[in-house]
A = this chain, B = another copy of it.
Amino acid sequence: MSVNLLQGAQETGSMSIKLLQGFKEADTFEKYALVAVIIVALLGLVYAAFLARQILREPEGTDRMKHIAKAIRTGGNAYLKRQFRTIVLLIFALAVFIFFTGYVGGEVIKSEYGNPKWLIGLGRAGGFLMGALFSALVGYIGMNMAMQGNSRVAEASRTSFTKALKIAYRSGTITGMLTDGLGLFGGTIIFLVFFRDSPLVLIGFGFGATLLALFMRVGGGIYTKSADVGADLVGKVEKGIPEDDPRNAAVIADQVGDNVGDCAGMAADIFESYEVTIVSALILGVLLYDVTHELHWIIFPLLVRAAGVLSSIISTYSVRALREGENAMKAIHRGYLFAASISITSFALFAHFYCDDLRFFYATAVGVALAVSIQFITDYYTSTERAPVKEVAKSTKTGSATTILSGLGIGYESTVMGILAIAVSIGLSAAIWRHGGAGTDQILYIFYGVALCGIGQLTLTGNNIAMDSFGPIVDNANGIGEMSKLEPQARQTLADLDAVGNTTKAVTKGIAIASAVLAAVALFAAFYEDFGLEAINLIQWKVFVCFLIGGAIPFMFSALTIRAVGRGAYFIVNEVRYQFTHVKGVWEGTVDPDYGKVVSICTAAAQRELITPALLAIVSPIVIGFLFGLEALAGFLAGVILVGQLLAVFMANAGGAWDNAKKTIEDGLYGGKGSEAHKASVVGDTVGDPLKDTAGPALNPLIKVINLVAVLAAPMMLVEVSGVWKQRDLSAGIYAVIVLGILAIIASIWFSKRAEAFGREETEEAGEAREA
């Protein structure tokens, strides 16, 4: 087993610190280009700050509106603070572990320049902290800007559709530009400082971002859907009162949930996708630099990203309704197409004039094509205009059971289309790079192509996030409008904007999942190349067994998150019921319910459920690697990628189809609101909620956390025996690690299952006695 990261390691023993080497090897154009990339990244951040100032100057509306908006802000920030407090210790503990993967593992992964082990370890741990911090910042600031935007959108809706749209879209754009700016800045700076050593550091950076995103996705997802499902069950289904009815104690928690889940969680997740695609491209790019000694393998992806950021700045600022009442989706789409044309043109120019190799262009163009086809597939399976949603809507006529069945069938079918689109992209990448080189090198070229495809796909992240954040902002604005009893015309404007928000959200989700798989595939290849595996041979029993276990992980993870939502919703239903029956005046609407109580139940429930899935993601690859070796670990990764993608898209699209089937019925089909068909459609939507907003999207960061942990921890699984790297034997210490790891997972599952109740619940006897 030869270890590529070791290639060219200087055995001179020189311990001089060599940084910023990359800049020395760059030609003049490349030097300017790198500086330009940094400037563009900073420009993105400045643009975000500029938009924030603009938003904050807008009026917040009536006192009632301010009051509600403040309650949402308080809840959202209380949640994030508690979340950060829960994980901060783990993050620092992991930083130490990561330092050691660089230091102890430094026997295997040596610096190219003879930089000392402590420097590599420090860089890696520092990169990890920076990644986690950036991810947290994007989530935190993004959520807060959304929570500032919501009441302002509601206020603007009272006077002007155009203005409401602009405020909503720009509030979302802030998050988008933060993602763009911080993502590009982080990756480029690390490359500039560490150059040929940068893969060792970038992997830490990517891991920090992804891990934090995992926490934000899982915690936020459980929070938002516990609140949403709980509020719907007790309000819409049980009591027959409208969504956002102020008598329902869970409505504020539901609003908070939109922010912590759909804003903070989603922003951190897309930031992480944006990050990991560039990390995987740079890792493979550096390996190609070793082969070809050409720097464009590394600089091209950075330039592409910079072009994307610039396109996003220009195009997002141009988004506005051309006339009062124009379909908002049209305005947003116009901006997107504008951005796409700027970036694609620039890819072609860079590929031709700088790389002198159009394959770079083709590869990124495949990524854009993939984004378009994912958008098409998502649209086909979840749009109210197409056959699948119509089929689900029709099945509501025969009750909830057929509604669920048709949604499952459609979800299954859609995930087939999704994975075929990815398979075709990988195939095209292979077709483009098939002459890349011979033997192992060909693999390197092909998977570099896959990484470029991921880069291309996420080019317009700024626009995507702007579109996605738009969803929860207008959803919140709509809720505030309902709770503040705004004028009918304003309510109509907000409802129209809300409907657009649902479409934009579904599309972003599909793109995020596809990019997760491309990034994971590129990391999978990086793992293979870095540790010089000869093959990942499925006929070896260890590989096959671990491949089976890998496939089980996404199911286990989804089981944990879905059941967590179920438990959370159960507590909320009980609390709201308690307030309806035991607190005088709540049901009559004369007294405000205790919103804060439900907010704190959600917060506590989400925290408790957070640790198990994260532990599963971090511990499982380590246990597998130590126990069965690196080749088997690669088999494990393949199983995770395959099943993760299939489950994630199934859950996202089934959920989307149910959601929109409900909408078509609420718009009057089959009897409209209040009909039996409507009740069935609400059941479908409620089942779909945790699938599409908790379990499904949390699989993105899961897939990548597992791949990154594998790359990080692999060096510790190897030991040098007379010049050859081989699998470390199973010593007592390693057995201890394995046993402890497995015990930690089991203990954590046991802990999260413990039926500790939050909130107040009538005892069954008391309830029955009262009813009798």
Q: Which residues of A contact B (CB under 8 A)?
A: 229, 233, 237-238, 395, 398-402, 404-406, 408-410, 412-413, 415-416, 419-420, 422-423, 426-427, 429-430, 443, 446, 521, 524-525, 528, 533, 535-542, 544-545, 547-549, 551-552, 555-556, 558-559, 562-563, 565-566, 569-570, 573, 634-635, 638-639, 642-643, 645-646, 650, 682-683, 686-687, 690-691
Q: How far is the CA of A448 from the CA of B525 in the complex (A)?
A: 32
Neighbouring B residues of A409 by C-beta, 8 Å: 558-559, 562-563, 566
Q: How far is the CB of A546 from chain B (nearest CB, A)?
A: 8
Neighbouring B residues of A399 by C-beta, 8 Å: 233, 237-238, 683, 686
Neighbouring B residues of A545 by C-beta, 8 Å: 423, 426-427, 430
Neighbouring B residues of A544 by C-beta, 8 Å: 426, 521, 638
Neighbouring B residues of A539 by C-beta, 8 Å: 443, 524-525, 528, 533, 535-536, 634
Given contacts A426-B545, A545-B423, A563-B409, contact A402 B555 (CB under 8 A): no
Contacting residue for A683 out of B404, B423, B446, B535, CB 8 A: B404
Neighbouring B residues of A538 by C-beta, 8 Å: 536-538, 634-635, 638
Contacting residue for A686 out of B237, B401, B446, CB 8 A: B401
Q: How far is the CB of A547 from chain B (nearest CB, A)?
A: 7
Q: Is the CB of A402 within 8 A of B570?
A: yes
Neighbouring B residues of A233 by C-beta, 8 Å: 398-399, 401-402
Given contacts A399-B238, A412-B556, contact A646 B426 (CB under 8 A): no
What are 21 pairs between A and B in contact, CB < 8 Å?
A237-B401, A238-B399, A398-B570, A399-B683, A399-B686, A400-B401, A409-B559, A412-B558, A412-B562, A413-B563, A416-B552, A416-B555, A422-B548, A423-B545, A423-B549, A427-B545, A429-B541, A535-B537, A538-B634, A547-B638, A643-B646
Q: Is the CB of A406 within 8 A of B566?
A: yes
Q: Is the CB of A419 within 8 A of B642?
A: no
Neighbouring B residues of A690 by C-beta, 8 Å: 405
Q: Is the CB of B548 within 8 A of A642?
A: yes
Q: How far is the CA of A224 from the CA of B378 in the complex (A)?
A: 33
Nearest chain B residue, comparing its CB with the CB of A426 = B545
Q: How far is the CA of A626 from the CA of B412 in the complex (A)?
A: 27
Q: Is the CB of B642 within 8 A of A404?
A: no
Q: Is the CB of A547 within 8 A of B642?
A: yes
Given contacts A446-B541, A570-B398, contact A419 B552 (CB under 8 A): yes
Q: Is the CB of B406 within 8 A of A551?
A: no
Neighbouring B residues of A569 by C-beta, 8 Å: 398, 402
Q: How far is the CA of A538 from the CA of B542 in the complex (A)?
A: 14
Q: How far is the CA of A643 from the CA of B554 in the complex (A)?
A: 12
Neighbouring B residues of A537 by C-beta, 8 Å: 535-538
Nearest chain B residue, comparing its CB with the CB of A411 = B559
Most interface-central of A548, A569, A650, A683 (chain B CB within 10 A): A548
Given contacts A237-B401, A404-B687, A412-B556, 5 further A-B contacts (CB under 8 A): A401-B682, A405-B565, A416-B552, A416-B555, A416-B559
Q: Is the CB of B430 within 8 A of A541?
A: yes
Q: How far is the CA of A683 from the CA of B237 in the complex (A)?
A: 15
Contacting residue for A643 out of B404, B528, B635, B642, CB 8 A: B642
This chain: copies in complex? 2
Q: How far is the CB of A429 from chain B (nearest CB, A)?
A: 8
Q: Is the CB of B549 within 8 A of A419?
A: yes
* 6 nearest A-B residue pairs (beta carbon): A401-B686, A412-B559, A409-B563, A413-B559, A536-B538, A430-B541
Q: How far is the CB of A544 from chain B (nearest CB, A)?
A: 7
Q: Is the CB of A420 within 8 A of B549?
A: yes
Q: How far is the CB of A541 from chain B (nearest CB, A)?
A: 4
Q: How far is the CB of A733 from chain B (nearest CB, A)?
A: 22
Nearest chain B residue, comparing its CB with the CB of A679 = B400
Q: How far is the CA of A398 from the CA of B236 in the complex (A)?
A: 12
Q: Is the CB of A646 within 8 A of B402?
A: no
Q: How far is the CB of A304 from chain B (nearest CB, A)?
A: 22
Q: Is the CB of B563 within 8 A of A406?
A: yes
Contacting residue for A415 out of B552, B565, B691, CB 8 A: B552
Q: Is the CB of A566 within 8 A of B419?
A: no
Contacting residue for A400 out of B406, B541, B683, B691, CB 8 A: B683
Nearest chain B residue, comparing its CB with the CB of A536 = B538
Q: Is the CB of B401 within 8 A of A687?
A: yes
Q: How far is the CA of A562 from the CA of B408 in the complex (A)?
A: 8
Contacting residue for A562 out of B229, B405, B429, CB 8 A: B405
Q: How far is the CA of A551 from the CA of B554 in the complex (A)?
A: 14
Q: How far is the CA of A544 from the CA of B535 in the complex (A)?
A: 12
Contacting residue for A551 out of B404, B443, B540, B643, CB 8 A: B643
Q: How far is the CB of A220 from chain B (nearest CB, A)?
A: 18
Q: Is the CB of A683 within 8 A of B566?
A: no
Q: How far is the CB of A525 from chain B (nearest CB, A)?
A: 7
Q: Is the CB of B555 within 8 A of A415?
A: yes
Neighbouring B residues of A642 by C-beta, 8 Å: 547-548, 551, 639, 642-643
Contacting residue for A566 out of B405, B565, B687, CB 8 A: B405
Q: How far is the CB of A472 from chain B (nearest CB, A)?
A: 22
Q: How far is the CA of A229 from the CA of B399 in the complex (A)?
A: 11
Neighbouring B residues of A682 by C-beta, 8 Å: 401
Neighbouring B residues of A395 by C-beta, 8 Å: 566, 570
Q: Is the CB of B566 within 8 A of A402?
A: yes
Q: Is the CB of A541 within 8 A of B426?
A: yes
Q: How far is the CA of A398 from the CA of B638 in the complex (A)?
A: 39
Q: How far is the CA of A639 from the CA of B268 in the complex (A)?
A: 31
Neighbouring B residues of A423 by C-beta, 8 Å: 545, 548-549
Most interface-central of A402, A426, A573 (chain B CB within 10 A): A402
Contacting residue for A412 out of B422, B542, B555, CB 8 A: B555
Q: How far is the CA of A556 from the CA of B412 in the complex (A)?
A: 6
Neighbouring B residues of A566 by C-beta, 8 Å: 395, 402, 405-406, 409
Neighbouring B residues of A549 by C-beta, 8 Å: 419-420, 423
Nearest chain B residue, comparing its CB with the CB of A392 = B566
Neighbouring B residues of A562 by C-beta, 8 Å: 405, 408-409, 412
Q: How far is the CB of A77 from chain B (nearest CB, A)?
A: 29
Q: How far is the CA of A690 from the CA of B402 in the complex (A)?
A: 11
Q: How far is the CA of A691 from the CA of B405 in the complex (A)?
A: 9
Q: How far is the CA of A676 from the CA of B578 in the complex (A)?
A: 19
Neighbouring B residues of A528 by C-beta, 8 Å: 539
Neighbouring B residues of A229 by C-beta, 8 Å: 401-402, 405
Q: How far is the CB of A414 from chain B (nearest CB, A)?
A: 9
Given contacts A420-B549, A537-B535, A559-B412, contact A398 B573 (CB under 8 A): yes
